[in-house]
Every structure is written in C-alpha cells, then in structure tokens.
Amino acid sequence: MTATVKYDEVEAGQEIPARDFPVSRLSLVMYAGASGDFNVIHWNERIAKSVGLPDVIAHGMFTMAQGGRFVTDWAGDPGAVVDYGVRFSAPVVVPDDDQGAVITISGVVEEKLGDNKVVVALKAYSGDSRVLSKARAVVKLA
Amino acid sequence: MALNRDFIGRKFPPSEPYEVSRVKIREFAAAIGDDNPIYRDREAAKAAGHPDVIAPPTFPIVFSMNSAAAVLADPDLGLNFAMVVHGEQRFEYTRPIHAGDVLSSSSEVVEIRSVGRNEFLTLRSEVRDEAGELVCTAFNTIVERGGAA
C-alpha cells in the first residue's frame, strides 16, 4: 500500500480541511442501482413523507461513502484504510430541485497509533444537521 | 413489536460466492462520485501495489449481508421493514478487495437491544476469499423505529 501522507509528518490534532460533497436525486438513483438498496424512501417522495420523513433521504451508506472519499483522497491510497465506522445520526434530506443537498465533511488526526497507523475523526454536516457521529477511520500511512 | 431475542446468536450459512468484477467496482465508484484511478485503471492500481483495481472501502455493503437477508425477513423475528433505518456501520479490513476476488460472507446476529422506543439489531458478517482467508469483517446495526413501544 502506498499512502502518500507520511506518518512522521502527521501530528495528532492536525486538521484536514473541509470539503463539500453534493448529492442530488440522480446520485441516489445511481447509488440504489450500484448498491442494490432500493428502499423507496431513497427515491419516492410520497412514501418517504408517508412514513414521517421530511422528503427523500440519502442512503446512509452513500453518506458513509463520501466520508470514505474524504479519507482516501487525503491518504492517497484507498487500500490504506484498515478500519472505518460511522453512526448515522441524522438523515441527509435531498430535495427535488436543481441544487439537491450538500454534505460537508472535515477531519482531524485524532491519534497516532503504532505501526504507522493513525485515527482520523470525521465530522459530516448537511445544513445544520450533523449526519454522521462517531465517524472514525484508521489509516496506515507511509 | 419487540424483536424476538431468540435470534441473538443466530448464524446464517455462507452466501453464494460473490465474484468481484472491474465493471461493478467502476459502477459503484461512479455512483459515489469517486474518480480515483485506483478504482478504474489497472495500471494505476498496480503502481500502488495492488494486483488489480480495488474496491472503495464501503463496497462490501453490496454483498456482505446477502446471507442474512432471508433471515431478517423471517416473520418470527418480527422486523417491520417499513420502519427500518440504518443505525451504524463499521468495516474492519484485513486487505483491500480487488477485482477477481471470489468472496463469501457469513453473518451472525450479535446483539438485539432496546434504546428508548427503538429496537437495535447488530449483524456481524465475515467476508472470506476462496482460500478461506478473512478479507473484511462488517458490523451492521439497523434500527426499527418504534419497535420497542
């Protein structure tokens, strides 16, 4: 594995700048097809509202995948991720308009472990909602 | 309705092997909006030390719970799918998944608990390659809203 970030050049507490990840209804249709998760609350506004949701919501795994992109783009090699877990704390509501929604993700190197591994803690927001909590990845750096 | 606690510890036999293809990895990467060449270009993947294109970290969700799906639908469990949301997800990776892998997953219900009015069910799934080596362990917690009321 060839992560491009070097363990020796990373400090605990180091921040990884925030990035915006857009999500549209098209994103959800593509994700449904690629993942095989066809739960109607991810594409049918009528049924989403009938079960008490404000609108169609993104698949939790779509949001988790954006956190994955954030970490792997930083680390340089997706194969460097050795552990990744999240709690889905609020839904990402995706309106049927030209803008869709935006997931804003930022990170911090929370801890340096042995064997060139670091813990990256993520924050993910959509608007004012914190959509992931307890989001952490362990990455093996160069 | 509360979930049937008799299902705690229930194991599901391994799924039919899942063959990881370059086309499926490319489709999944496109769906998550990730243009990393390591998911698409064999040469880029090889340059990074991988035998072929590798899959994004969340890719195992595509197949890792196949063996559990039928049991979650068992009426004796009492799960109302209309009220289910995804609560937590975690993957522990032994190595990256790459195109050409033939993987089977076996799942076990490791926990069922009530939190407030909701029921939480956690599945642990082991993904193994053809040699029987562990590739990834997935922990999937689903929440049945209002199930404990």
Q: Are strands A81-88 and B84-93 parallel, antiparallel or unpaired?
A: antiparallel
Interface of B with A in 63-122 (CB under 8 A): 82-83, 85-93, 95-96
Give the separation between CA A99 and CA A95, rounded to whole angstroms: 8
pLDDT-based confidence at B149, cuts 50/70/90? Answer: low
* Domains identified in chain A, total number: 1
Beta carbons of A34 and B85 less than 8 Å apart: no
- The mean predicted confidence, pLDDT, of chain A is 95
Q: Does the residue A81 lie in any domain?
A: yes
Question: Given an 8 Å threshold on Cβ–Cβ distance, is A84 in contact with B83?
Answer: no
Q: Does a structural domain hold residue A2?
A: no
The architecture in CATH of the region B5-19+59-144 reads Roll (3.10)
Find the residue in A nearest to B64 (Cα): A35
In a domain, residue A97? The reply is yes
Residue type, A106: S
Is pLDDT at A119 greater than 60 in this prediction? yes
Look at residues B6, B44, B3 and name the one whose alpha carbon lies nearest to residue B25. B44
Which distant-in-sequence residues (6+ apart) come within 8 Å of B50 by Cβ? Answer: A79, B38, B96, B98
- How is chain B split into domains, by residue range? 5-19+59-144
Question: According to the model, what pLDDT value does residue A4 have?
Answer: 84
pTM of the predicted structure, to 2 decimals: 0.95
The predicted structure's pLDDT at residue B148: 78
Q: What is the 3-state secondary structure (H, E, C) of chain A?
A: CCCCCCHHHCCCCCEEEEEEEEECHHHHHHHHHHHCCCCHHHCCHHHHHHCCCCCCECCHHHHHHHHHHHHHHHHCCHHHEEEEEEEECCCCECCCCCCCEEEEEEEEEEEECCCCEEEEEEEEEECCEEEEEEEEEEEECC
CATH of the domain at A135: 3.10.129.10
Q: Residue window 11-30, chain B: list those with CB within 8 Å of chain A.
A: 24, 27-28, 30
d(CA B131, CA A73): 31
Our CA dihedral for A8, A12, A14, A19, rounded to 10 degrees, sits at 100
- Parent domain of A111: 7-140
Which chain A residues are Cβ-neighbours of B27 within 8 angstroms? 33-34
In a domain, A28, yes or no: yes
How does pLDDT run across B69-120, given as a tens digit for each residue?
Answer: 777 888 999 998 878 889 999 999 999 999 999 999 999 999 999 999 999 9
Residue A1, in any domain of the structure: no
Q: Is residue A18 part of a domain?
A: yes
